[in-house]
A and B are shown apart, each in its own frame.
Chain A
Amino acid sequence: MTGPGAPIQDEAARRPQVRVLLPYHLRTLAQVQGEFEIEVAAPVTVRSILDALEALYPMLRGTIRDQVTLERRPFLRFFACEEDLSHDSPDAPLPEAVATGKEPLLILGAIAGG
């Protein structure tokens, strides 16, 4: 492949499309419907997904993780492929199925409160 635009297109093509499902209140805040896809820089990790998510939807900054410490908010959990990934390192590679878009990363709020 030749031409000045080719490398950029190749780079874009390689960038994984990750599926994300936010809790209801964050979907409302970000004004997104249901599950959606975002481009994430490889390697696909919780951190890289949240980085991409917050870049695309700045209003989500601070609502999933602390803006300074980047620690997950205590009443939120990360699930994928029927596994609770909340206590894994945010830099741990996510399952291949998430990285390839076959399975979504689920960000869930605790079922608690009134």
Chain B
Amino acid sequence: MSQVRVLAGTRKGAFILTSDGKRNHWEVSGPHFAGWEIYHVKGSPVDPNRLYASQSSGWFGQVIQTSNDGGLTWAPAGNQFTYKGVPGTHQWYDGTPHPWEFKRVWHLEPSLTDPETVYAGVEDAALFRSADGGKNWEELEGLRQHGTGPRWQPGAGGMCLHTILLDPTNPDRIYIAISAAGAFRTDDAGLTWKPINKGLVSNFIPEPTAEVGHCVHHVALHPTRPQVLFMQKHWDVMRSDDAGDNWREVSGNLPTDFGFAIDVHAHEPETLYVVPIKSDSEHFPPEGKLRVYRSRTGGNEWEPLTRGLPQQDCYVNVLRDAMAVDRLDECGIYFGTTGGQVYASPDAGDSWTPIVRDLPAVLSVEVQTLP
């Protein structure tokens, strides 16, 4: 029978939750790396027991951990992330030039074909790659050295490269997103990049339709249709049908089009999930009701999913990397909150159960579907 393994990164450690395919009973292991911020944990699609974890601390900096046994044991890997050449400057919050400074790894994306190859999205925004299981890291500097780099600016959480999407049909194509620069695409395996932000409108920046400067919160795709992208922007849920060349808004009837997380059903490429969040200053669910919204039409028409979710006095947030789906026949949806709950739905969102309730604030959730 299939198994599901949920990898949760939190403010104070990593937790691994496992269940059989019924997804009724969950075992929790952790905290791994207790006391450290774990921005992200993700497994290799080629070798599911190979896990990569980003472990960081304001005191001690960045550590990368790897596991070869599905998280039972871990070993530190390489943690030297050095920008290539003279890093130069990006914009600071007040618009003044600010030197590029490495702070942490936000997202680790293992290769679709090689367990030893993994990409890291870092703050200040850049993309690194390791081809030796995380021992050595090399920047794909064509992104940071894109001519628009000096105009990139940090979002409230820092200038982070938080989304990395590998195209399963084209090994040379990678999408990334940066808060607050926007989305970018390479078609030559990371050598050169182009901004893909046409159609995004951000009324809070001086030029609302600028080539860069948009606060993209997260981007998702379905692996069978990787040219179709779905984006949760600072405001607006967006869709592109041409690999990001053009975007159109699909926020439709959402109660608020602000949010962080977005994901796609494992078997239905037109079924999307978002968690609307009240903004700009509050960042909790509208009316204190935690609701996932599902669209079965690729956007625009959304239905609230509430069964099993708190519908009063709920003031948590769901961060950008904290939603994921499994690949079982009946697709499971998962998300973590800043209140420490990880919710799971074994029926594509119709009903929800907290599979763990009192973790530290959840920063990221990934799911592995195991044979």
Contact = CB atoms under 8 A, between A and B. Distances in A.
Interface of A: 23-26, 28-29, 58-59, 61-64, 67-68, 73, 75-76, 109-110, 113
A63 B80 contact: no
B80 to A, nearest CB: 5
A28 B34 CA distance: 9
A49 to B, nearest CB: 17
A68 B84 CA distance: 12
B63 interface: yes
B58 interface: yes
Interface of chain B, main secondary structure: loop
> Which secondary structure dominates where chain A touches chain B?
loop
A59 B80 CA distance: 11
14 contacts: A25-B59, A28-B34, A29-B60, A29-B63, A59-B76, A61-B80, A63-B79, A67-B79, A67-B82, A68-B80, A73-B60, A75-B59, A109-B59, A109-B60
Contacts of A24: 35
A62 B63 CA distance: 8
B314 to A, nearest CB: 22
B63 A63 contact: yes
B79 A25 contact: no
Interface residues of B, number: 14
A76 B59 contact: yes
B61 A73 contact: yes
Closest 3 CB pairs of A and B: A59-B76, A63-B60, A75-B59
B62 interface: yes
B36 interface: yes
B67 interface: no
B57 interface: yes
Contacts of B61: 62-63, 73
B62 A62 contact: yes
Contact of A62 (B34, B36, B80): B80
A67 B63 CA distance: 12
Contact of B79 (A23, A61, A75, A110): A61
Contact of A68 (B34, B57, B82): B82
A50 to B, nearest CB: 14
Contacts of B76: 29, 58-59
Interface centre among B36, B58, B59, B82 (most CB of A within 10 A): B59
A57 to B, nearest CB: 9
Contacts of B63: 29, 59, 62-63
Contacts of B82: 67-68
B64 to A, nearest CB: 10
Interface string B66-79: 00000000001001
B59 A23 contact: yes
A73 B59 contact: yes
Contacts of B59: 23, 25, 73, 75-76, 109-110, 113
A69 B35 CA distance: 27
Contacts of B79: 61-63, 67
